[in-house]
Each structure stands twice: as structure tokens, then as C-alpha cells.
């Protein structure tokens, strides 16, 4: 069959560059051959990947649709306009900017829109579940801005709302930020909105982790409450590896100027086209079912791991991920990650609240259900996966040759054959 589309010519790539072609094949084999439980990963659709592998990668289009600094933008303007309109409609937002290259770039633009160097932001501490770009000293955000951090309550392990309020009133930050990368529970957006109004701050939500659940109407949306919501498009949302921002109309100009020209140059038009495809996918009933199943699976996984003594912090999850304290079974996060990996289960070590261990060792693991749910697995499979994780991390030694790793790997293989990733 002939096609007017020019791209994704794998045979040509294989002929010209067998090294990189080999990497593409073996990465696909790796994805297909194991269980992917990294909470921030997913498996984007062939439609999204097709848009990514297109000639739109060639086009310079600095500016915005209808207002570009280059000629020849008629077609990419269509792609970006579709992405913007679909994004606004999906999240019922006043304004959308779909140009951020990543979550970190999106966050950079939010700082750029609202803050001057030296001003104060109130955000969640990284070891409590926050994110590098929320003011850590190693990131631009902590080098250029004054970050005051809140954490979680010692008893509930959920956001310490009393501390948030106390710090907000004491430090009067320019921005109050909610969101992070290891928060299993729903965030009380109404509380943050009221507090921000009380002290005259901007309320920003970094929804990168859970925005896919919002898109699928499986959890409440931050959009009606926040001044600005930044997110990535590749986590539960299942789009290309990139970022986006939605905001209230009054902030539209400031956000657009901060994304371009303040923080970025030419937008990645192939990625913007892939975002448009993804937003269309997310508006379907199938995606809504998927988002609900992600939560059901994450909850089952958290419960079943807890039954093995792998304690879920906060007692469980409302979202796509759970964070587990391994101290009860005497295994470090680093060892657990290595032992699971040796058995074909990919997850990550993670600091737990008030973690006594160093971050590169950690006392916990973070597990997420987006990938395995994309593969069609349900709660029965989550119970089995919890058993496999427990066996791998308590009996294995971190080598693939160990009997426990082999035993678990055989069951992982059987499971991924029944629920294949990217079916052939
Ligand atoms: N690194 C991502 C995560 O794994 O949560 C967040 O940026």
C-alpha cells in the first residue's frame, strides 16, 4: 500500500544506522518483556508515536499560531491550534499553552510569568513528595528563588495543611504551589485557593503526575481553583514526552510570553501534533474507563503489597501511585529496586516521609499502575504482581541468576504474554 506519509521508515534506519536501530528494537523488547511500574511512565499509542516520527520535526515556528517569526507555518499552525483547542476543551480551561518541551520547562515558564529572582515560593519539600523544580537547591528554582517548604503530617503522612497555612501567613509567598511526584492522596485544592486569596498569592498546581486522571474525570480537577496548572503529557495522560500549561484568561499573556520568548525558542511541532492526538484520545469514553481502572489497580496493588508487610504510606492511595515503606521487611529501597529489576519488574526506590536513609538508598519504593493498566491488566493481576514483588525483593539477591529472580521472571513472562505491551 502506498501512503502519502513520509516517516517511520524503520528499514531505512536499520540499513543506515544498525546501532541505533538495534537500540530501538531492544528497548521495545525490554518494555514488552517486563512489568513497568514506574509511576511516571506510560505507553503512548501508535498514533501519538506516528505524529512524533513525522516531518513536523523540521519546522521552525517561533511564535504562536497566526503570529510566527517564520514563513511556511500554515500547516503547523493547524496542528498547534488543534492542540490548544483540544487541551482547553479537555480541561475546561480558559487558556492553554502547548509549547513547553517538558514538565521542567513548563514549570520554568510559570516562575518566569509570576516571579522575580529572590522572591518566595511555598512548595512541598522534595523528600516529602515534591519535585526538583519546586525549589530544591540543585535546580534553577532553588538557586534563583527563595523556596519555603511544607511537608506531610507525621501521623497521616498526607499534606500537613496546618503547616502550609502557618508558613503561608509567615512568609507571604508570591506563589503557593501544590503537587509533586510522590503524593498518593488527593490534594485539597479548595483549601489552597482560599489560603492564596487570603494572602494575595498566585495558586499554582503542578499536576504532572495526576493530570491524566483529571482528563479521564476520575478525580477532581485543579483547573477551577488554580491560577495556573502545569503538567507533563507523558504520564497517566499517555501522550508524547512533553509539557503544557493551562491558566485563567487573566494570566494568558504572561504565560505565553514566559514560554516564548522568555524560556524557549522554536517549539517542537512534531511533539505539539502528538499532543493534539493525545488530547483527542483522552476525550474518549475508553480513556475515561482507563483512568478509573488505573486508580482501581493502584489501590489493589497498594493493598496487596500492604498485606505482605510492604506498608503503603498514608494507608493507601487515591491516585495512580503508591509509596511503600520497606523498613518493616528490612530491605532498602535501593536493594528492592535492584532485586525487582533482576526479576523483570521495573520500579523505583523512593524516599518516604521522614526517611532516615540517604536519598540514593531510600527506605521506600514507588509503584504505579499506568503502564500495566494500558496493557489491559486488572485487579486480579495486581494481586499477583504484589506477590511477585514481595518474592523478588525479599528472596532475591539482585542478580538475574538467583533462583527467586528466575522464578518471578517466569511468572512475569507468562503475565506479559497474556497482556502484551504494543501487541504485535
Ligand atoms: N521524574 C518524574 C517522576 O518520576 O516522578 C517527575 O519529573
The residue extents of the domains of the chain are: 52-282, 286-418
Domains 52-282 and 286-418 share a fold: no
Q: What is the pLDDT of residue 1?
A: 52
Residue nearest to atom 6 of ligand 1 (CA): 181
Q: Which of 131, 122, 174 is nearest to 150 (CA)?
A: 122
Handedness of CA 276, 277, 280, 281 (dihedral sign): negative
CATH code matching the domain that covers 286-418, chosen among 3.40.50.1950, 3.90.79.10, 3.90.1150.10, 3.30.365.10:
3.90.1150.10
Evaluate: CB of 103 within 6 angstroms of ligand 1: yes
Backbone angles phi, psi at 364, to 5 degrees: -140, 175
Q: What is the pLDDT of residue 424?
A: 84
Q: What are the pLDDT tens digits along the chain (424 aa)?
A: 556 677 778 999 999 999 999 999 999 999 999 999 999 999 999 999 999 999 999 999 999 999 999 999 999 999 999 999 999 999 999 999 999 999 999 999 999 999 999 999 999 999 999 999 999 999 999 999 999 999 999 999 999 999 999 999 999 999 999 999 999 999 999 999 999 999 999 999 999 999 999 999 999 999 999 999 999 999 999 999 999 999 999 999 999 999 999 999 999 999 999 999 999 999 999 999 999 999 999 999 999 999 999 999 999 999 999 999 999 999 999 999 999 999 999 999 999 999 999 999 999 999 999 999 999 999 999 999 999 999 999 999 999 999 999 999 999 999 999 999 999 8
CATH architecture, range 52-282? 3-Layer(aba) Sandwich (3.40)
Dist. CA 77 → ligand 1 center (Å): 30
Indicate the top mutation candidate among 41, 141, 208 to test ligand 1's pocket, ranked by most ligand atoms within 8 A of CB. 208
pTM of the predicted model over 0.95: yes
Dist. CA 181 → ligand 1 center (Å): 6
Element (H, E) at 230: strand 228-232
Annotated binding site for (6S)-5,6,7,8-tetrahydrofolate: 126, 130-132, 249
Dist. CA 85 → ligand 1 center (Å): 27
Cα 223 from Cα 72, distance rounded (Å) = 34
Dist. CA 424 → ligand 1 center (Å): 29
Q: What is the pLDDT of residue 418?
A: 98
How long, in residues, is the chain? 424
Cα 72 from Cα 86, distance rounded (Å) = 23
Indicate the top mutation candidate among 181, 230, 242, 348 to test ligand 1's pocket, ranked by most ligand atoms within 8 A of CB. 181
Indicate which residues carry an active-site annotation: 60, 62, 206, 232, 235, 241
Residue nearest to atom 4 of ligand 1 (CA): 40
Max CA distance (Å), the chain: 67
Amino acid at each position: 500500500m502506498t501512503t502519502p506519509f513520509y516517516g517511520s521508515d524503520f528499514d531505512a534506519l536499520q540499513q543506515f544506522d544498525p546501532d541505533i536501530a538495534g537500540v530501538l528494537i531492544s528497548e521495545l523488547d525490554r518494555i514488552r518483556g517486563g512489568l513497568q511500574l514506574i509511576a511516571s511512565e506510560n505507553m503512548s499509542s501508535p498514533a501519538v508515536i506516528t505524529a512524533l516520527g513525522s516531518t513536523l520535526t523540521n519546522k521552525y515556528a517561533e511564535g504562536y499560531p497566526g503570529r510566527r517569526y517564520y514563513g511556511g507555518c500554515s500547516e503547523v499552525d493547524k496542528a498547534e491550534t488543534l492542540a490548544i483547542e483540544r487541551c482547553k476543551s479537555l480541561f475546561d480551561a480558559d487558556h492553554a499553552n502547548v509549547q513547553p518541551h517538558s514538565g521542567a520547562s513548563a514549570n520554568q515558564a510559570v516562575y518566569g510569568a509570576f516571579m522575580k529572582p529572590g522572591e518566595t515560593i511555598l512548595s512541598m519539600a522534595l523528600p516529602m513528595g515534591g519535585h526538583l523544580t519546586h525549589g530544591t537547591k540543585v535546580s534553577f528554582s532553588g538557586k534563583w528563588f527563595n523556596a519555603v517548604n511544607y511537608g506531610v503530617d507525621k501521623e497521616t503522612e498526607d499534606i500537613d495543611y496546618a503547616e502550609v497555612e502557618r508558613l503561608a501567613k509567615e512568609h507571604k509567598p508570591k506563589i503557593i504551589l501544590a503537587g509533586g511526584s510522590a503524593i498518593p492522596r488527593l490534594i485539597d485544592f479548595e483549601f489552597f485557593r482560599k489560603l492564596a486569596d487570603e494572602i494575595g498569592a498566585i495558586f499554582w498546581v503542578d499536576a504532572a503526575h495526576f493530570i491524566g486522571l483529571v482528563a479521564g474525570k476520575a478525580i477532581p480537577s485543579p483547573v477551577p481553583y488554580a491560577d495556573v496548572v502545569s503538567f507533563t503529557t507523558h504520564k497517566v495522560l499517555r501522550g508524547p514526552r512533553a509539557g503544557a500549561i493551562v491558566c485563567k484568561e487573566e494570566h494568558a499573556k504572561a504565560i505565553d510570553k514566559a514560554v516564548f520568548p522568555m524560556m524557549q525558542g522554536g517549539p517542537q511541532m512534531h511533539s505539539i501534533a502528538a499532543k493534539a492526538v493525545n488530547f483527542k484520545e483522552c476525550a474518549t469514553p475508553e480513556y475515561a474507563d482507563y483512568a478509573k481502572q488505573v486508580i482501581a489497580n493502584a489501590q489493589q496493588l497498594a493493598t496487596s503489597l500492604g498485606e505482605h508487610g510492604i506498608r503503603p504510606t498514608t494507608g493507601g492511595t487515591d491516585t495512580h501511585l503508591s509509596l511503600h515503606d520497606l523498613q518493616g521487611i528490612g530491605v532498602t529501597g535501593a536493594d528492592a529496586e535492584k532485586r525487582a529489576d533482576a526479576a523483570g519488574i521495573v520500579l523505583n526506590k523512593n524516599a518516604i516521609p521522614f526517611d532516615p536513609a540517604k536519598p540514593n538508598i531510600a527506605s521506600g519504593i514507588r509503584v504505579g499502575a499506568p503502564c500495566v493498566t494500558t496493557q489491559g491488566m486488572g485487579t486480579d493481576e495486581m494481586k499477583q504482581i504484589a506477590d511477585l514483588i514481595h518474592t523478588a525483593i525479599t528472596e532475591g539477591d539482585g542478580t538475574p541468576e538467583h533462583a527467586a529472580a528466575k522464578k518471578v521472571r517466569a511468572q512475569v513472562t507468562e503475565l506479559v504474554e497474556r497482556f502484551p505491551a504494543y501487541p504485535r
